[in-house]
Amino acid sequence: MSEEPNQPDNRLDGLLRRWGADEAVRAARPAAAPPTARARAHAPAKRRPGERRLPWAALAAAAILLCALSFWAGSMLPGPQRVSSPAPGAAGELESARKALAQARADAQAARNAQKTAETQLADRQKELARFGELESRWEEEKKSLLQRYENSLAKLRGESEAKDEALTAAKARADETSAQLVKAQQELVAAEADKKAAADLERLRKEFATETARLRELHGKAVTEARAAGDDLTALKARQSQLFREAQMAYLNVAAPTEAGLQARQTAARRSLLAARCGQVEKNARAEETRKIIARLEVVLTRLDLLDSYDARAEDAFASLVSQDGLLARIETVLAAGAEPESVRLLLLESRLVLTGVNRVG
């Protein structure tokens, strides 16, 4: 008798483990009462084939069955001291199971909503990564195109500069030749004056000397003018080259770090291009020993740039002093102008020069 109140609990726990909360709720409901003897008595009986129904036999059987049921019901009725109401514990457990089932359904719905949100965020992140990949590919193409345009302009300017240098050298040579002719004419004049017998020749030589002097002076003036023009053209070419480099530098930094400026933009560009890491890979491809020394020096400078605090003015000044040591940028320009190194080496040197040039004037 002491174990009877716990039987609904044990039954409920077993059903929850076997079929789940829904099946437990349905199974915990009270079973339907068995049909009474009166209902069975009024239920139509199946007739066997060839069987003839006997009314008096059915009435006798019903009476006997009714007596038996009455006796059984009387024996099963509890005494006055054993009358009790339904156990409240089973109803409370059933209500708790229903609440737990409702909470589990709510938690499952919340989990499904969270899963949908996570899947949406994952899809957005994948789209963002794809977009960044496209931007990275386009950036690499723009870098190669920028290098090609810069090398073409540098080669063109180098050719024009060489032509102007040749013209300037020729003008100087003509001026030197004119000066030598003038000295020779003066010597001839002195020799003619020393010869008293050559007075007529002296007069003729004086006239020729005056004419030749005027002609030589004119040639000398033209040579000086050409030399000045060649110098002006050379200065203009150098200014044009500097302008092209500044434009290339601005385009490179805008592509690598469009939202930053100054030293922060240079740090971002160097990090995105992996300049410091590429130095060790590209150094072995260099053909000249001087180029390998430049790349080794660049690795030190670029590592210092990556670790630099861009908000510290003194650190920025110290870094600018480090860049200006050993004529690093001029040595890089010399290697680029020669054009004898492989493309990977020249691309690294050009990107490094774009990042490091003018670092002390940015901010």
Total domains in the chain come to 2
Instruction: Convert the pLDDT of each residue in 190-213 to its tens digit.
Output: 776 666 666 777 778 888 888 888
Residue 348's pLDDT is 93
Find the domain containing 177 and state its range: 127-256
pLDDT band at 1 (very low <50, low <70, confident <90, very high): very low
Distance of alpha carbon 255 from alpha carbon 135, whole angstroms: 10
Interval 312-341: pLDDT, tens: 878 788 888 888 888 899 999 999 989 899
Cα-Cα-Cα-Cα dihedral of 318, 320, 325, 328, to 10°?
Answer: 150
Q: What is the mean pLDDT of the chain?
A: 77
What is the distance of C-alpha 220 from the center of its chain? 63
Phi, psi of 86 (to 5 degrees): -60, 140
Out of 256, 272, 307, a domain closes at 256
Residue 278 has pLDDT above 90, yes or no: yes
Which range has the worst mean pLDDT, 136-140, 240-244, 300-304? 240-244
Q: Amino acid identity of 102?
A: A
Asked whether residue 346 is domain-assigned, the answer is yes
Predicted pLDDT of residue 37: 45
What is the pLDDT, as a whole number, of residue 59?
A: 66
Q: Please say if the pLDDT value at position 4 is more than 50.
A: no
Is 284 found in the same domain as 164? no
Residues 133 and 220 grouped into a single domain: yes
Q: Where is pLDDT greater, at 25 or 277? A: 277
pLDDT of residue 15 exceeding 70, the answer is no
Residue 49 lies in a domain: no
pLDDT at 239: 82
- CA pair distance 184, 202, nearest whole angstrom: 15
The pLDDT value recorded for residue 206 is 81
Instruction: Identify whether residues 250 and 268 lie together within a single domain.
Output: no
Neighbours of 266 (CB within 10 A): 27
Residues 6+ apart with CB under 8 A from 329: 323, 353, 356, 357
Please choose, from the candidates 326, 245, 242, 343, the residue with its C-alpha nearest in 3D space to the C-alpha of residue 290: 326
Cα 301 from Cα 307, distance rounded (Å): 10
Is residue 247 one of the residues assigned to a domain?
yes
Judgement on whether residues 232 and 269 belong to the same structural domain of the protein? no
**What mean pLDDT do residues 349-356 have?**
91
Query: Which of the four pLDDT bands, split at 50, 70 and 90, describes residue 310?
Result: confident
Token pair 């089932």 is found at 101
Q: Is the pTM of this model over 0.85?
A: no
Quick one: 156 and 236 in the same domain? yes
**Could you tell me if residue 3 is inside a domain?**
no
The predicted-structure confidence for 124-173, as pLDDT tens digits, reads as follows 989 989 988 888 888 888 888 888 888 888 788 888 888 888 888 888 88
Please tell me whether residues 150 and 235 are part of one structural domain: yes
Q: Is the pLDDT of residue 343 over 90?
A: yes
pLDDT score of 18: 53
Domain boundary among 222, 256, 290: 256
Query: 232 and 140, same structural domain?
Result: yes
Residue 54 has pLDDT above 60, yes or no: no
For CA atoms 297, 303, 307, 310, give the dihedral sign.
Answer: positive
